[in-house]
Structure 1
């Protein structure tokens, strides 16, 4: 174990003390400080090696320090670091907008804007939807996560730790049931709930847009049933509402396609992007039908750092890789290997109520008993903590915090997968 040569204290302990002294407590997690990372591996400041099954919460689809992305960033460093696009335009911004439009499903004219984070993308999608329709209301789903700003937190469903104490929340946000087949909520149930919402809380003529994640992330990695997105799109079209597909976590090849919504055959009016689109640098975007994107008056959308040139350089490479069918095929193949191993672990572990997900966006729901399906957050945490001690990074999810998410970088090797899954299996056995 590495130590601070001046004090003899392990670097992790030293940095944890510094964090406790200087960093707001609300951001704190486990005492873990990264020194370097490559592919699907991370090394901490004390020289410990970890297999990463979280990928920066879905930002590392292309792997840590992807060589092509790093090279693009280095090249941009010699040109300029910042230009506010609304004042001094630059080609990398335009290029990334074009690539986002290529990721957006549908044979129609599209345009895009660039921002800094997934939450900013969602905020701007809502602004654009409201402006273009002249309506105020936004419908979202149970188990949704759309960000941590005031508006996006209003759309997010999970109280602890996200919403607790941060109200009052933004008005004209309405929540409908989201499909959750494992817990008995089918597409029919969710659609019935949407109609009840329109009867009891908000008239469809007042709704600007319906927003949902094709695979709900923080809510528990809940894929929308095959029929649900198309049925929602049909209802939206009937009432003049827009459909917003939140691709922040599920997009950029995570499900095996550039956009997760594409597998459902739905062509959304707007898509929000983030996380992996920057290959590790902060950038996000909104893409959509050209007439909707162009509806906002000049200067109505944008921001100082939106589409920063360094982030655009990284995103141009990252999205180009996502659009490559070889990258997509590799992501699907990885997902099949991961799913097979997870199914194998679940077959001998009754606490795993369900293995679910799409492509390489997978999760395990942990329950006290497979019959009652009572969520078991304590067991999920125990598995995550034991795995960390054995060198595997995992992360929870779900409104009840009883889901273990699997977001392996899409460039992970067979050795990464095998070693990580072995540790995961051992962690279930050790915490039984």
Structure 2
């Protein structure tokens, strides 16, 4: 495994961490989007502490427990699914996506899947087949499972229009596979690893129509974009589209390992009893943590704060451009607080070298940042939505001081 930041964390509090030598850092990595509410949010820790006094494990398939039901009931009430909804809890987003694929196959009797370039859906074999990026994830692995067809992701950054992407799907139906062989279309409404690229409302609506027309399942991967990151509970809500299955993880558990898939009741019931499950899936302590996340979302106006935080990010990036060396700052991406900015060369081309330099220098100055994007030149801003605004200002002040050094990198 490769480690991005060679820093060993000793403790954390909201958006700040300290290493084993006592050095303080602003954490804009946030467990790669897990810590939506920061390190050790009080509501999460209170629910966890109470559960630890009761019991720490019960395999739900064998002996069900109330914390699991508390989570699935909340998801049924809040996920953008049309009609009655049912959920399954898992340990990770990749595991949730694996089960979504199984259900799509069982429900439709088909095996094909359409996914998008630049998408990231996991590192297990089946989810890796969906992931639209070879290096470093697929190198040396040979043929991957499935019947997966990739098409361009329509977004401004890739100069791909909605019409281009829809034409690519039409070409699959004409040249590669008939629509009746496709079980599902899998899409991130906002790509995470892909660099916070966003597709349009019109495109998501077109996908919904396409799936309805051909009897395909629409799966929204909200593992990174879910739980208020974009200013709505789920990113696909911006488009007013209801998928058949929502796959989620990261922010749902408040720092504890939990993921889920929630879908239309008939789709989620497509497999025989016992066909879904797992030993640790829906661990009661992780479920308790999730109920703490739900309390915070409802009581602390987190959706509104995500939009405020996102605007503050945008304003700061615009100010960076006006500073000495500010020409290295490219476009701002994303929606709500799911924001990123590009680092570019003097000619405007992507600059992974300048990004790597920023990661190192920022870390030395007490700021931890996260890279992404097709050309590894995009900085993802994944600080907790609960970060104090003065710490946001502090982080961008650090970046601003580093711009002249970045401009020297060729």
**TM-score interval, smaller chain:** over 0.9
Task: Write the distance in 1 (CA, Å) between the matches of 2:283 and 2:247.
Answer: 17
Q: Could you say which residue in structure 2 is the equivalent of 1:314?
A: 289
Secondary structure of the 2:327 match is coil
Task: Write the distance in 2 (CA, Å) between the matches of 1:190 and 1:369.
Answer: 31
Q: CA deviation at 1:176?
A: 0.9
Q: CA deviation at 1:302?
A: 0.7
Task: Write the distance in 2 (CA, Å) between the matches of 1:347 and 1:122.
Answer: 43
Q: CA deviation at 1:106?
A: 3.9
Q: Provide Cα deviations, 1:137-179, integer angstroms capped at 9, x if missing partner.
A: 0110000000000011111122222111223211201111111
Return the match for 2:331 from 346, 354, 367: 354
Residues 269 and 385 (structure 1), Cα distance of their counterparts in 2 relative to 1, 3 Å cut: same
Task: Write the distance in 1 (CA, Å) between the matches of 2:322 and 2:267.
Answer: 48
Return the match for 1:284 from 259, 272, 275: 259
Task: Write the distance in 2 (CA, Å) between the matches of 1:40 and 1:163.
Answer: 33
User: Residues 150-189 of structure 1: matches in 2 within 5 Å?
Assistant: 150-189=125-164
Note if contact 1:103-1:323 (Cα within 8 Å) is conserved in structure 2. no
Task: Write the distance in 1 (CA, Å) between the matches of 2:207 and 2:194.
Answer: 19
Q: CA deviation at 1:324?
A: 5.0
Task: Write the distance in 2 (CA, Å) between the matches of 1:320 and 1:166.
Answer: 43
Q: Could you say which residue in structure 2 is the equivalent of 1:326?
A: 301
What is the root-mean-square deviation of aligned Cα atoms in Å?
Answer: 1.4
Task: Write the distance in 2 (CA, Å) between the matches of 1:252 and 1:324.
Answer: 14
Matched pairs, number: 405
Q: CA deviation at 1:344?
A: 2.1
Note if contact 1:277-1:283 (Cα within 8 Å) is conserved in structure 2. yes
Q: CA deviation at 1:98?
A: 1.3
Note if contact 2:186-2:220 (Cα within 8 Å) is conserved in structure 1. yes
Q: Provide Cα deviations, 1:307-330, integer angstroms capped at 9, x if missing partner.
A: 000000001111343345712111
Q: Could you say which residue in structure 2 is the equivalent of 1:406?
A: 381
Note if contact 1:198-1:204 (Cα within 8 Å) is conserved in structure 2. yes
Which segments of 5 or more consecutive residues in structure 1 lack a partner in the other structure? 1-25
Task: Write the distance in 2 (CA, Å) between the matches of 1:168 and 1:189.
Answer: 27
Return the match for 2:246 from 264, 267, 271: 271
Task: Write the distance in 1 (CA, Å) between the matches of 2:396 and 2:6.
Answer: 23
Q: Could you say which residue in structure 2 is the equivalent of 1:37?
A: 12
Note if contact 1:100-1:319 (Cα within 8 Å) is conserved in structure 2. no
Secondary structure of the 1:101 match is helix
Q: Could you say which residue in structure 2 is the equivalent of 1:235?
A: 210
Note if contact 2:81-2:264 (Cα within 8 Å) is conserved in structure 1. no
Q: Could you say which residue in structure 2 is the equivalent of 1:110?
A: 85
Which segments of 5 or more consecutive residues in structure 2 lack a partner in the other structure? none
Q: Could you say which residue in structure 1 is the equivalent of 2:316?
A: 341
Q: Which moved more, 1:414-423 or 1:96-105?
A: 96-105
Task: Write the distance in 2 (CA, Å) between the matches of 1:325 and 1:406.
Answer: 21
Whether 1:419 aligns to 2:394 is yes
Task: Write the distance in 2 (CA, Å) between the matches of 1:273 and 1:323.
Answer: 18
Task: Write the distance in 2 (CA, Å) between the matches of 1:102 and 1:393.
Answer: 36
Task: Write the distance in 1 (CA, Å) between the matches of 2:24 and 2:275.
Answer: 47
Whether 1:148 aligns to 2:123 is yes
Whether 1:210 aligns to 2:185 is yes
Task: Write the distance in 2 (CA, Å) between the matches of 1:356 and 1:33.
Answer: 30
Task: Write the distance in 2 (CA, Å) between the matches of 1:197 and 1:351.
Answer: 39
Task: Write the distance in 2 (CA, Å) between the matches of 1:220 and 1:403.
Answer: 6
TM (norm. structure 2) is 0.96
Whether 1:78 aligns to 2:53 is yes
Q: CA deviation at 1:389?
A: 0.8
Q: CA deviation at 1:378?
A: 0.8
